[in-house]
Amino acid sequence: MPIVNKYLYKEITVHVLLVILALMAMFSFFDLIQELDSLGKGNYGLANILLFVLLSVPGHIYDIVPVAVLVGCMISLSQLARHSELLVLRVSGLSVFRLAALLLQIGLLFTLLTFLVGELLTPISEKMAQRLRLQASHSLVAQEFRSGLWVKDGRNFINVEEVLADTSLLNVHIYEFDHEARLIKIRNAKSASYQQDHWRLKDVSETQFKLDQNSVTRLAEANWYSMVRPELLNVLLVMPEKMSAWNLSAYINHLSSNQQKTNRYQVALWAKMIYPLACLVMVILALPFALLPQRSAGISAQALVGMLLGVSYQILNRVFAHLGLLNDWPPLFSAMLPTLLFLLAGLIMLQLVERR
């Protein structure tokens, strides 16, 4: 059977890679069309747009690999069934469960690919793409409030009016409180840049509040030691779903230490762990379609069904993530439920087809 295994590996892998290439080209084209609306804004020219689209490719690969595995497996297995090759293999002693084991090995390969792209390439490329876009168009990092970004750091509250693409800060206001929650100092700085283990504040004014009198001190520069670091501010550049598990874990720890809600980022962290396993689920879901009777339009119809199922999986992932946040579901449950539902559907379909 080694020859059969190699043949199946080659056929299925080639079809999956072709589907990845086709979907990647489609999404890159959509990105190009969307970015053309910003052409000429600042220094954001055509070269910058093409580079932005190129840097966005790893993020698209991460999103589309499970869908490509489903569609590629359905197409390749349908072709094998249509040419009676699958029938010959089954008559020769290749059971459904052994075929499923072969498919799971291929799915494991793409699971590893999805994990590596999501952890190593996507966080870096997404951050570079967003910084390129912001710097070229002279834009600011999106802020949650009109007054800028607010961060809690221990007993202190920090307000940053503007965060630049290189994570340097403009118009920083630091409100320091004592253990009895009394305001003891306000520090204002025109700008701040990170240097090794601290922030370097420039054009600083400090107002200290004491029982007998208040005092104001002006400094050209000052050091500011804080748990707020540039890697934590990267959450403003990259969506949680595109961040690495390491950065997500660090940001969750920061929020937890400041008694802030972490549900959204915990859901994203669990999704990073579970999402690559969707490749294994997709090969199980594809197998029953190959065992159905093939018709003349079977391959194209099954490719369409595969795309619809893949899109449905992506939609369910996002829907259950938002439902989990709204209803305070456990993050692991919100991240795992869509994958479990598709796995259950694949096993039930496989059992029904095998009984026919």
Structure tokens at 69: 């595995």
**Model confidence band, residue 1 (pLDDT cutoffs 50, 70, 90):** low
Question: Global pTM?
Answer: 0.80
pLDDT tens readout for residues 16-48: 999 999 999 999 999 999 999 888 887 889 999
Radius of gyration of the chain (CA): 26
* pLDDT the model gives residue 335: 92
**Overall average pLDDT of the 221-248 stretch:** 81
* pLDDT the model gives residue 296: 47
* pLDDT the model gives residue 91: 79
Cβ atoms within 10 Å of 313's Cβ, excluding its own:
20
* pLDDT the model gives residue 342: 94
CA–CA gap between residue 275 and residue 336 (Å, rounded): 8
The answer, yes or no, to whether residue 94 has pLDDT greater than 80, is no
The answer, yes or no, to whether residue 113 has pLDDT greater than 50, is yes
> What secondary structure, in 3-state letters, does 130-193 show?
HHHHHHHCCCCCCCCECCEEEEEECCEEEEEEEECCCCCEEEEEEEEECCCCCEEEEEEEEEEE
- Looking at per-residue confidence, does 66 or 237 come out higher? 66
pLDDT tens readout for residues 180-216: 888 899 999 999 999 888 899 999 999 998 877 788 8
**Overall average pLDDT of the 250-275 stretch:** 87
- Looking at per-residue confidence, does 98 or 51 come out higher? 51
Domain extents in the chain: 2-137+265-355, 149-228
* Percent of the chain surpassing pLDDT 90: 43
pLDDT tens readout for residues 282-299: 999 998 887 776 654 466
Q: Which of 302, 299, 288, 308 is nearest to 353 (CA)?
A: 288
**Cα–chain-centroid distance for residue 21?**
19
Give whole-number Cα distances, 156 to 181, 186, 202, 269, in Å: 9, 10, 19, 27
* pLDDT the model gives residue 187: 93
The answer, yes or no, to whether residue 354 has pLDDT greater than 70, is yes
- Looking at per-residue confidence, does 342 or 355 come out higher? 342
- Looking at per-residue confidence, does 69 or 251 come out higher? 69
On average, the pLDDT of the chain sits at: 86
* pLDDT the model gives residue 337: 93
- Looking at per-residue confidence, does 237 or 186 come out higher? 186
**Overall average pLDDT of the 169-173 stretch:** 90
**Overall average pLDDT of the 217-245 stretch:** 82
* pLDDT the model gives residue 165: 65
**Overall average pLDDT of the 127-132 stretch:** 86
pLDDT tens readout for residues 315-349: 999 999 989 888 989 999 999 999 999 999 999 98
The answer, yes or no, to whether residue 304 has pLDDT greater than 80, is yes
